[in-house]
A and B are shown apart, each in its own frame.
Chain A
């Protein structure tokens, strides 16, 4: 079955540090890949997405590139802020069922940014 593996935290960084959160996946077919962010007590917000190999998703200074050869979708940001503190989930949708497939999530990475 499909699976997503991401580094588990907590990951603690100082403000303005470089961020990388690793994510690798296993899927049948040709999945779409997503990063979601969850702030304390809130729902999931889509951060960025990529639907085919070599696509780069980007939003709010975050980037991730769909690497089919390494089955990876690592999240990066050049300079993190305290407000980036949250839990980040890598997810995939393999769409093998034709459309309304549920997302498969990784375990989530708790990111803590210290001033």
Chain B
């Protein structure tokens, strides 16, 4: 079965640079979520989109922005990168129209290292 695709899988950036992470949800899924997982930490919810509109917002820094496009893929844009942004970034997708709860399917993650 098709899964959530994230690219790139690994990314190395310098401080103050920008980064763009991409997420391709499972086909027919209408909702995308972004999470940040620091080393040895639990995943922290950043932001979600339903039908291309921002739906829920968590602990996303002002330096980050995201959007969902007409083909439902999503991009997380990160500017003025800081050392503390080094983490594993997960994207998840779900189909809200199918059930009364949002069962989220996670991608393999993008490991961002800021030097």
User: Do residues B43 and A51 form an inter-chain contact, with CB atoms below 8 A?
Assistant: no
Count A interface residues, CB 8 Å.
Answer: 25
Interface of A is mostly: loop
The answer for the CA separation of A93 and B41 in the assembled complex, in Å, is 19
Contact with B along A102-115 (1 / 0, CB 8 A): 11111110000000
Whether, in the assembled complex, B24 has its beta carbon less than 8 Å from a beta carbon of chain A, the answer is no
B102 in complex: contacting residue of A44, A89, A101, A104, CB < 8 Å: A101
The answer to whether residues A103 and B103 also contact, given A43-B108, A97-B56 and a CB cut-off of 8 A, is no
Q: How large is the interface on B (under 10, 10 to 19, 20 to 34, 35 or more residues)?
A: 20 to 34
Find the A residue at minimum CB distance from B88.
A43
The answer for the CA separation of A44 and B105 in the assembled complex, in Å, is 8
Whether, in the assembled complex, A79 has its beta carbon less than 8 Å from a beta carbon of chain B, the answer is no
User: Do residues A102 and B33 form an inter-chain contact, with CB atoms below 8 A?
Assistant: yes
| Minimum CB–CB distance for B89 against chain A, Å | 11
Binding site for A on B (CB under 8 A): 31, 33, 35, 41-50, 55-56, 58, 90, 92, 94, 96, 100-109
The answer to whether residues A101 and B43 also contact, given A43-B107, A43-B109, A44-B106 and a CB cut-off of 8 A, is no
- List 10 interface pairs A-B (beta carbons < 8 Å), by A numbering: A43-B106, A44-B92, A46-B103, A51-B100, A100-B33, A102-B45, A102-B46, A102-B48, A103-B104, A108-B42
A99 in complex: contacting residue of B46, B55, B106, B109, CB < 8 Å: B55
Q: Which residues of A contact B108 (CB under 8 A)?
A: 42-43
